[in-house]
Amino acid sequence: MTKKAKILVVDDDHDFVDVVKTLLQGESYDVVVAYNGKEGVAKAKAENPDMMLLDIIMPEEDGFLTADEFRKDPVLSKIPIIAVSSFSGGDMGQPFPFEVDEYIMKSTVTKDLVGKVKTHLKRKGL
Amino acid sequence: MKIYLYTNVFIDLIMLIVLIHFTGGIENPFIFLLTLHVILAGIGLSHKTTYFIATVALLLVGIMVALECTGLIPHINLEGFISPDQYKQTNYIIAILVALAVLLYSGAYLTTAISGELRKRQRQVVTLTQQILAEKEAELDVSAREIDKLEEEKKRFLSFLGMAAHDLKAPLAAIQGFLWLILTGYTGKITDKQRDMLDRSSRRINDLVNLISDLLDIPRIEAGQLVQEMKEISLGELVKHCADDFSTVAKEKGLDLNVEVPENIRKIKGSDVRLRQVITNLLSNALNYTLWGSVTIRLTETESEQRVEVMDTGIGIPPQELPRLFNDFFRGSNVSVKGTGLGLAISKRIIEAHGGKIWVESPCPETNKGSKFTFTIPSKSR
């Protein structure tokens, strides 16, 4: 790998961010962190990440709004989004009410995350 | 309208008097037909008008008699029927006029009394009907408001449960994550004893996450959340996907996982997430409680329903426990695999919310081994 892929993690749960960060850094990815949606959009514009992991329930600007902002922006819309939440399908009442590229439940993140990140990065040619 | 009515009645009366005049005047016994006018007026018109018409009729007859007696108009005798000078006999005239007056006024009295009573009753019925209608409308208004309030409360309750599920699971997910990082060596070496304890902690947290999901699922299903989730789905695709998810587990256990889904299965209306939950639960149970042999999942279709059968060659269920198998928190006496005891109870609620049925047979009638779980979903689901 000539260039490390950069992954933006947006989640208000600092502990969970640490888990994901450790996991991804262990896999040699560059990790950028934001603790709310607004910060996520700002960091995405500044850091130009290859992918975003997005929590759904966050104060101020939640994952739904953040994903919406990304989808509307011509540059940010190209960044694949993996929603990572404690919500299961049953909690939401339906599989997912907004468009993301992938959805992972936090309870299975350690099992599923690295594989799914790799798949989506490969799709981007990274 | 009233003038038209009065004019009509008077013309009618005058015409009848003219007719009577030309057919014998007071000698004509049909003079009493005037009573019919009063009866008709009594039925259709007011009390006052009826008595007024009776009086006018009597006056008109009196005028006719007076004119005939004084010779101002000729008297036409009913020849051969009444003696020619009878119309001039005072006693006869008085008797006829009195009889006519009695008939006219008693007719007026009787008909106005009866029709008055009938009108009163009719008014009462109308008032009562209006009253009942108003009361029912008010009741309907109250019920509609109650329904709106309950719907609102249900929405708040479901949203509360969703948030509760999230907030209970979020810290556990962080703990699970940290434990996993330690266990997989991201944080350095750990002793075997530490590994064992962390491993057990991780499993207990996993159990807790499952219990939270299950416990919160029950009120959500009972509050009717499924109805919002329902759409056109392919049960065939769902069965295949779920079976795919378990193929690795089956292989690891050395079990055959057979999937029998016919081509061109019609779509049904259902909740993708919840039916996936049921199929996953049945397959997971079948694989957990089968040590060797096979697990088969089969989808069949009839005109009215689609049927999913999950058969295993596992340990089976003791006959005395079969009736309680779908009860909340029920755990089979012969199982060692950990679980909340809510999986089948939730599956039953999900299937019933789809208008279907779920049941178990043990041993499986086809193989005489293990168990067979079957659920049905109506082709035209609610």
SS3 B337: coil
In chain A, which residue's Cα lies nearest the Cα of B162?
A91
Average pLDDT over residues B361-369: 90
Whole-angstrom Cα distance, residue A37 to residue A57? Answer: 10
Nearest to B178 among A19, A86, A93 (CB): A19
Whole-angstrom Cα distance, residue B273 to residue A92? Answer: 10
Task: Retrieve residue B43's tokens.
Answer: 């039925």
Contacts of A85 in chain B (CB under 8 A): 166
Asked if the structure places residue A12 within a domain, the reply is: yes
How far apart are the CA of A75 and the nearest CA of chain B, in angstroms? Answer: 31
Residues contacting A7, CB < 8 A, separation 6+: A24, A29, A30, A31, A32, A49, A50, A51, A52, A53, A117
Asked if the structure places residue A1 within a domain, the reply is: no
Q: Which CATH superfamily is domain B229-378 in?
A: Histidine kinase-like ATPase, C-terminal domain (3.30.565.10)
pLDDT by residue, tens only, chain A of 126 residues: 457 899 999 999 999 999 999 999 988 999 999 999 999 999 999 999 999 999 988 887 888 889 888 988 999 988 999 989 887 655 555 555 567 788 888 888 888 888 999 998 888 777
| Residue bearing the bigger pLDDT, B104 or B5 | B104
- CB within 8 Å: B165 and A20: no
Sorted by where each begins, the domain ranges of chain B are 1-132, 149-225, 229-378
Query: Which candidate in B181, B226, B242 is best for mutational testing of the A interface (most A CBs within 10 A)?
Result: B181
Q: How many domains are there within chain A? A: 1
Query: Which candidate in B161, B186, B228, B273 is best for mutational testing of the A interface (most A CBs within 10 A)?
Result: B273
Could you tell me the CATH number of the domain that includes residue A109? Answer: 3.40.50.2300
Asked if the structure places residue A15 within a domain, the reply is: yes
Q: What pTM, to 2 d.p., does this model score?
A: 0.63
Q: What is the pLDDT of residue B381?
A: 47
- CB within 8 Å: B176 and A107: yes
> Model confidence over B200-220: pLDDT tens digits?
999 899 888 888 888 888 888
Structural domain for A99, as ranges? 6-123
Q: What is the pLDDT of residue B209?
A: 86
Asked if the structure places residue A83 within a domain, the reply is: yes
Q: What is the pLDDT of residue B78?
A: 78
> Model confidence over B256-286: pLDDT tens digits?
999 999 988 899 999 888 999 999 999 999 9
Flag whether the ipTM exceeds 0.85: no
Nearest to B376 by CA among B352, B357, B353: B357
Residues B36-73: b if buried by 16+ CB within 10 A, e if exposed: ebbbbbbeebebebbbbbbebbbebbeebbeebbeeee
